[in-house]
A = this chain, B = another copy of it.
Amino acid sequence: MNEFLPAGSAAPVLPTADASCRLRPVPSGAARITGGFWARRQQANRDSAIASGPERLEAAGNLDNLRIAAGTKQGDTRGLIFMDSDVYKWLEAAAWEYARNPSDELLQAQRDMTALVAAAQEPDGYLNSVVAAEGRGRYRDLPWSHEHYCAGHLMQAAVAQVRGTGDRGLLEVAVRFADHLVETFGEDRRHDVDGHPEVEMGLVELFRATGNRSYLELARYFVDARGHGLMAGYGKEPTYFSDRVPVREQTTVEGHAVRAVYLAAGAADVAAELGDKELLEALTRQFAHMVATKTYVTGGLGSRWHMEAFGDPYELPPDRAYAETCAAVGGVQWAWRMLLATADPFYADVAERMLHNGFIAGVSLGGGEYFYVNPLQMRSGAHPDENRSPAHGRRGWFECACCPPNIMRTLASLDGYLASTDEDGVQLHLYARSEVTAGAVRLSVETDYPWDGRIRVRIDETTDAEWTLSLRVPAWARGATLTVDGDPREAAPGSYAAVRRTWRAGEVAELTLPMEVRVVAADDRIDAVRGCVAIERGPLVYAVEQVDQPEGVVVDDARIDVAGRPEAEHRLDLLGGVTVVTVAGRARRHEAAPWPYPPASGSAGGDVSGDRVQLTAVPYFAWANRELGPMRVWLPRS
């Protein structure tokens, strides 16, 4: 019996009571971000991104596509075949945002858009505006058609709408489509899967919202059908589509990064609801291999522009990092499900890193401009050769607009990632100024995290019985302490600092995380950053941007003196208020040689030539919010 189960359901992942989960999420509403770092990003998300979503979808043709499919407008559809998914992701974002902060205007916008979606649905439940309007024929090209992918986003949006607003309009559409899928695909029906996983998460959540077990069973089928030659049947090389190896046998992540992590997240949902230990073990193994060999220091996923893929182990180029914003979203989704299943703080650490770096770098501080690709280095004279290129700077929208509404829905649902409960009490995972209500327990969290390491948790209401308050201590936080009743004790990094007692209202637990600047290196096998270091502070990874450097220092040629003592200073005037780091280094401008491969010198040591300089680093997430210029996360050692 979990007496700490919170009220409300405004969470994207809400396991059933029978699910094999060590932890239960505290939904948005029961958990509320009330100020600070994330509140500001959520405000920008609300005011700029979500508010302008309907206009963006109108301008790009997504809404017209639905009207054309419904027969209320003439003409050809526009855009990529999965244009509907952007509509669903916006609807999901709007629903979570409404749950955080209701407004009639936002509700009406959702209802209007829901009506467009409902009108485009076919009588038997099928729904895809582009496939239908263009007469391409259903399910003829599942590797590319994204029909299930769109369905999955519809289901997630529908669940968000019912949980976030109480409206059931989109849920009815989603249920009809899901029923149609159940009638069409499965072990004893058509054997096939979508080239882009996503429907697995949607089906499990729809099962959770409706109790209809056939959705869970279909999700299980889709997970287990992969790796048995379905894509090869379409003449496709299976790696890209996560179809080379059965999910239960896979030992790594490979192929298209977003597809791979979406599949894994959906499989984690299936494993939780079925209590499928074998599947959970396979996912544990894959996640560990991803983090050990295929994850950027920013938490970014996906090394290759070509096929938007994970690379080989340790193939992690900073300049050509793809690290798609959507892959960070998928990484957080997967990590959160693994955390709920296992209660292992490792997953919360990874999610924190992704959220504070690789994910939030994908949107401007103003909230309305996006990066699709999140490199860790940009050189002088980097040339934008296509729409997605980060050398353009952040952009308002993309031809393939998957990332912007993915950011919107993630930020709008972020309150739901703060805390969880189990039978023994409450766990805090993500630190923000916030309030958490779980059963009879109410907590308020005061902190300036991620700028400051003090996290002050006050018990506002409590039961008379003993219960455990657990506070995550990140693995980087060596020397952390937890103070209760004025009694500081060591808090082990990479664990939950837990206090079990009979709490009284007004009592405070204060976690202090050390916020010294950290200089980190990379495993020798990450060839692309050999001899380089990166700067971290708290959960943030830093970047050296051209605009902050002294005159004459070009970031391409800057090196860091590891023996120097980096210093941190919070600057309210900069980038909306960030802590900057200054570090000693050297810089030298080289002339280009006619041939760049000279005889090797005898010395293997660091290069100590060049002028001594002070380099300034800003949080990686904030780069490219002023001038766009050279940038490096990894700098050579001086």
Chain B contacts of A638 at CB under 8 A? 604
Contact B596 A522 (CB under 8 A): yes
Q: Which residue of the partner chain, among B292, B314, B317, contacts A379 with CB atoms under 8 Å? A: B314
Contact B599 A521 (CB under 8 A): yes
Task: Tell me the smallest distance from the CB of A134 to a CB of chain B, in Å.
Answer: 19
Contact A602 B255 (CB under 8 A): no
Asked if A527 is an interface residue, CB under 8 A from chain B, the answer is yes
Q: Which of A294-343 contact B (CB under 8 A)?
A: 295, 297, 304-307, 309, 311-315, 317-320
Asked if A482 is an interface residue, CB under 8 A from chain B, the answer is no
Contact B595 A527 (CB under 8 A): no
Asked if A514 is an interface residue, CB under 8 A from chain B, the answer is no
Q: Which residue of the partner chain, among B318, B521, B556, B598, contacts A601 with CB atoms under 8 Å? A: B521
Asked if A518 is an interface residue, CB under 8 A from chain B, the answer is yes
Contact A520 B597 (CB under 8 A): yes
Chain B contacts of A599 at CB under 8 A? 518-521
Contact B522 A595 (CB under 8 A): no
Q: Which residue of the partner chain, among B319, B387, B590, B595, contacts A312 with CB atoms under 8 Å? A: B319
Contact B304 A377 (CB under 8 A): no
Which stretch of A27-35, A83-91, A361-369, A528-536 is in the interface? A528-536
Q: A83 vs B439: C-alpha distance in the bound complex, in angstroms?
A: 69
Interface centre among A528, A556, A598, A600, by most chain B C-beta atoms within 10 angstroms, is: A600
Contact B319 A320 (CB under 8 A): no
Asked if A291 is an interface residue, CB under 8 A from chain B, the answer is yes
Contact with B along A219-263 (1 / 0, CB 8 A): 000000000000000000101100000000000001100000000
Q: A605 vs B602: C-alpha distance in the bound complex, in angstroms?
A: 12
Residue of B nearest to A238 (CB): B385
Asked if A563 is an interface residue, CB under 8 A from chain B, the answer is yes
Contact B305 A524 (CB under 8 A): no
With contacts A291-B595, A292-B594, A595-B475 taken as known, whether A385 is within 8 angstroms of B254 at the C-beta atoms is yes
Contact B379 A312 (CB under 8 A): yes
Q: Chain A interface mostly helix, strand, loop or mixed?
A: loop
Contact with B along A344-368 (1 / 0, CB 8 A): 0010000000000000000000000
Interface size class, chain A? 35 or more
Asked if A568 is an interface residue, CB under 8 A from chain B, the answer is no
Q: A553 vs B573: C-alpha distance in the bound complex, in angstroms?
A: 54
With contacts A291-B595, A381-B312, A520-B597 taken as known, whether A604 is within 8 angstroms of B237 at the C-beta atoms is no
Q: A528 vs B533: C-alpha distance in the bound complex, in angstroms?
A: 14
Asked if A59 is an interface residue, CB under 8 A from chain B, the answer is no
Contact A598 B530 (CB under 8 A): no
Contact with B along A586-623 (1 / 0, CB 8 A): 00001011111111111011110000000000000000
Asked if A181 is an interface residue, CB under 8 A from chain B, the answer is no
Asked if A526 is an interface residue, CB under 8 A from chain B, the answer is yes
Q: Which residue of the partner chain, among B295, B387, B528, B590, contacts A528 with CB atoms under 8 Å? A: B528
Contact A532 B530 (CB under 8 A): yes
Q: Which of A21-69 contact B (CB under 8 A)?
A: none
Task: Tell me the smallest distance from the CB of A195 to a CB of chain B, in Å.
Answer: 14
Asked if A293 is an interface residue, CB under 8 A from chain B, the answer is yes
Residue of B nearest to A563 (CB): B602
Chain B contacts of A105 at CB under 8 A? none
Q: Which of A530-568 contact B (CB under 8 A)?
A: 530-534, 556-557, 562-563
Task: Tell me the smallest distance from the CB of A377 to a CB of chain B, in Å.
Answer: 7
Q: Which residue of the partner chain, among B292, B386, B562, B563, contacts A596 with CB atoms under 8 Å? A: B292
Chain B contacts of A291 at CB under 8 A? 594-595
Asked if A382 is an interface residue, CB under 8 A from chain B, the answer is yes
Q: A622 vs B88: C-alpha distance in the bound complex, in angstroms?
A: 53
Residue of B nearest to A288 (CB): B594
Asked if A626 is an interface residue, CB under 8 A from chain B, the answer is no
Contact A600 B519 (CB under 8 A): yes
Residues of A within 8 A of B (CB): 237, 239-240, 254-255, 288, 291-293, 295, 297, 304-307, 309, 311-315, 317-320, 346, 377, 379-383, 385-387, 475, 518-534, 556-557, 562-563, 590, 592-602, 604-607, 636-638
Interchain residue pairs A-B with the least CB separation, the first 4: A604-B606, A305-B306, A523-B596, A521-B600
| Besides the known contacts A521-B600, A563-B602, 6 further A-B residue pairs in the complex with CB atoms under 8 A apart | A291-B594, A304-B305, A315-B319, A527-B529, A530-B530, A600-B637
